[in-house]
Structure 1
């Protein structure tokens, strides 16, 4: 089974323009860009044949090539990371059995998240797309709730059926729970990890599907699969003591840097 990781990155983010080039300090104080740290996370994944960064911006291209990444230039008309991955896979000539979309704002993604995701898709031959979910502990749930109270999107949550097929994804915190939880206590809320594994046929078809009202409302690209009658497989992953957060807003930079310091990540 051949596996390609694509890291889609665009400069013109509405919430955080220039986000891929934002600097993050590691535990030793060394500073590296968000895109470089996301690329390093991809390099740590076992069983991967190729890692590329897909962008439409020459500033990201120049910065990425400077630290040794392979870059594929894509159209500025791509509306989200999945469309950019589809175009990049086509530019590369296709031929991969599984294409992984590791979004460029998730530098804390542990290698086993992606390894377990690929294995989960491989073990479900009927599935066309899979994505990881991580059960929130009390500290993470409170972080999500506090962000929403402050009017920020701190992360996406997922609900899924017993067969692990996704029922919905939202930038709101779902399902509702009023019970207080301890910092390390498991909760009924699952944090959606912004990684996807696609089979090539589904990825190639995605840009031709219409954008539905739920994708427009939530701004979540995976909802296009669901609104067009395709199932999304949720693969539960384990934190193994690692903290996880995505860089969605400028306020997330110190939060992620503190997590890196706490975990001794450079």
Structure 2
């Protein structure tokens, strides 16, 4: 199956404006992510989708394939759906531009997950937790799955809720959701045309739209998490790691 990785790169980030073009390491942040994506062995193409001429020119400066998309999209998923309109790829990977430290082997695992589970329309990755505070943190998304790995529900709350421990029980019972996805292309088109459901509106989690509409999401567990870059402070720490 032909597979394309699409990196949505919006310039006007709310918490860190212009972050995709931050270049304190000597490379643009989006360039780091692009180069990691190129190392994935199971992908045939890597494309950056942006709403900014400034980002487009920067991507062209380091040799990336990039396209302009509408500035009115509400999410990166919508941007990706537009970007692959003319693509003949059967599988589409959604890799956020602020994920410069993702392991390319994890991208390959994600692609293999969807290829091997014909009954699922989406795939995503999960990991374990390091401490109970992470489970309680609403900024860290949790997921519960069936025994076959298909997602039952995603939440910002601790799930499952441990009645005996009044919240968080044995850490081995909790899975952390990692925000990277693979889709079947025809599903992606259908998904972005669906209205937001009440679960998605309540939790502010886009993937719940798929579950609300009866689609299946297969998950795969990986050993390590990685840090996305949401704030200037997180970017500063990333620069230290790179230079260190």
TM-score category (smaller protein)? 0.7 to 0.9
The separation in 1 between residues aligned to 2:200 and 2:143, in whole angstroms, is 14
State the secondary structure of the residue aligned to 2:174.
strand
Q: Residues 248 and 188 (structure 1 numbering): CA distance in 2 closer, same or farther, change over 3 Å?
A: farther
User: Are 1:251 and 2:233 counterparts?
Assistant: yes
- Per-residue CA distance 1:168-227 (angstroms, 9 max, x = gap): 2234454455469xxxxx643322222111111101111210111222233322122112
User: Are 1:111 and 2:104 counterparts?
Assistant: yes
Partner of 1:183: none
The separation in 2 between residues aligned to 1:207 and 1:178, in whole angstroms, is 34
Which of these residues, 195, 215, 218, is aligned with residue 180 of structure 2?
Answer: 195
- Per-residue CA distance 1:72-129 (angstroms, 9 max, x = gap): 1111121111111111000xx2311211111112111101111111111111111111
Q: Determine if contact 2:111/2:182 at 8 Å carries over to the other structure.
A: yes
State the secondary structure of the residue aligned to 1:248.
coil
Q: Determine if contact 1:106/1:194 at 8 Å carries over to the other structure.
A: no
Q: Determine if contact 2:122/2:183 at 8 Å carries over to the other structure.
A: yes
Partner of 1:9: 9
Q: CA deviation at 1:135?
A: 1.6
Q: Determine if contact 2:3/2:91 at 8 Å carries over to the other structure.
A: yes
User: Could you tell me the TM-score, scaled by structure 1's length?
Assistant: 0.81
The separation in 1 between residues aligned to 2:116 and 2:27, in whole angstroms, is 36
User: Are 1:56 and 2:51 counterparts?
Assistant: yes
Q: Determine if contact 2:20/2:30 at 8 Å carries over to the other structure.
A: yes
Root mean square deviation, CA, Å: 2.3
State the secondary structure of the residue aligned to 2:153.
strand
The separation in 2 between residues aligned to 1:7 and 1:119, in whole angstroms, is 19
Q: Determine if contact 1:5/1:51 at 8 Å carries over to the other structure.
A: yes
Q: CA deviation at 1:245?
A: 1.3
Q: Determine if contact 2:50/2:69 at 8 Å carries over to the other structure.
A: yes
Superposed, 1:177-192 pairs within 5 Å as: 178=168, 187-192=172-177
Unaligned runs of 5+ in 2: 162-166
Q: Relative to structure 2, which stretch is displaced further, 5-14 or 168-177?
A: 168-177
Unaligned runs of 5+ in 1: 25-29, 181-185
Q: Determine if contact 1:55/1:71 at 8 Å carries over to the other structure.
A: yes
The separation in 2 between residues aligned to 1:188 and 1:22, in whole angstroms, is 38
Which of these residues, 194, 214, 233, is aligned with residue 218 of structure 2?
Answer: 233
User: Are 1:82 and 2:77 counterparts?
Assistant: yes
State the secondary structure of the residue aligned to 2:129.
strand
